[in-house]
Amino acid sequence: MTNLIADAEQELKTKREALNLRWYPRYHLAARAGWMNDPNGLVWFDGWYHAFYQHHPYSPEWGPMHWGHARSQDLVHWEHLPVAIAPEGPEDKDGCFSGSAVVDGDTLVLIYTGHKFHGDTDNEDNLYQVQCMATSRDGIHFERQGIVVDTPPGIHHFRDPKVWREGANWYMVVGARTGNTGQVRLYCSADLRQWVYGGILDEAETGMGFMWECPDFFNLGDKRVLMFSPQGMTAHRFKNRNLFQSGYLVGDWQPCQPFIRSGEFVEMDHGHDFYAPQSFLTPDGRRIVIGWLDMWESPLPEQQDGWAGMLSLPRELSLGVDNRLQMRPAKEVESLRQAWFPWPVSSLNNQQINVVENAVAMEVVLNWKSADSNAEQYGLSLGDGLRVYIDAQMQRLVLERHYPHHGLCGTRSVPVTLDRDLHLRLFIDSSSIEVFVNDGEACLSSRIYPDTERRELGLFAWSGYASLSDGGAWQLK
């Protein structure tokens, strides 16, 4: 263990004992203490799922990035491991930024961005981002291998490599910025060490962002999906309401051929907080994605408690008949279920009924009979700060959070069809909610900050009546 990693481990041990756990997640993965952002290096290796993440162990503020590390055998119960890599070389002295992991024989290989300034850190002309490698035989202790892809001439933002194997070759996509245009660059290698530039896989058109972060490129069905997080997209009506987005393009691609889009950019998650998703394959061939359940430049009230950031639940991806990405909670999430509590509510008429006194770690299932409902608004509330409801006049499902004392207020929404039943699965944790609509049609994820004594869960219908065919909750361990 290097000195920097040993220092980080000691700092985490000390800070962990001082955390305020009021909003610390019960079943989402978060750092032991300090700061967490993007998931990195999601991979199955030697009998374990590994999740690495951007991490600053010394404070709950963003700082020189390390790679935090946890592992699991079921994607939901995580064991924290020592910090994997720290910014201790000339190639990454100002931070070990995001990247990915692959298995090469009996070796776990991390490919990540080394972040460094040559001179004044306030001048981006001095910024250089390079792609680096670290390897491990046991999946815990890593040996640094240095730079494998240097900064292209004239480029300063060049980060977040995602690596995969296809046929006899390895491929890598890297997010980049040229001027005010975001792009994804492609590289090819036979051995993970010597890489050949394969050109620009895709790049932004007007309005599609000045930087494309955290690219991912994978097969789904008979299509290719380019998933990335664009910075600088302009909001329009209900679209692109967050400061930064996460979404995808669907198309066709063969090695050594251009990527041909077959549709427009589509957001993956329509809540307030979902960024930098990364995908990986399970041993049984499912494509799973996990994202950062937070948003840049947004208030983070948990920082006062000694930690910041968490990862989303694992979600299984599929493509619908319209080539739209569908996300469902991975089947492993069901292993968290304990007792089932059905709610004896089949209809509401201009009223609210409390169904749970203290909702902390729950999976809620609601089947609204929308065609038999005429209320203007009907749905679920948590305390006085969160509502998830159908607005019949707008024909949208709305997630509304209202925490003015934390500077977090606003709505996010998706369109719904009200001539058929509306099925919702809602995962409530100490400071988050993830809403899955109609078995994968849409998803909304947001952070929430209810007061400890105001976590009652209620059902409501206003200006009319609403009908339920089923409603209840699992307590989650």
Any catalytic annotation for residue 38?
Answer: yes
CA distance 151 to 129: 6
Q: Are 421 and 248 in contact (CB under 8 A)?
A: no
Active-site choice (7, 38, 94, 106) = 38
432 contacts 448 by C-beta, under 8 angstroms: yes
> In Å, how far from its chain's centre is CA 140?
23
Nearest C-alpha neighbor of 151 from the set 199, 102, 113, 188? 113
Structure token pair of residue 170: 């390895």
Q: Output the six-digit token pair for 374.
A: 């005429």
Q: Six-digit token pair at 71?
A: 């592992």
Residues facing 368 on adjacent strands: 422, 468
Active site residues: 38
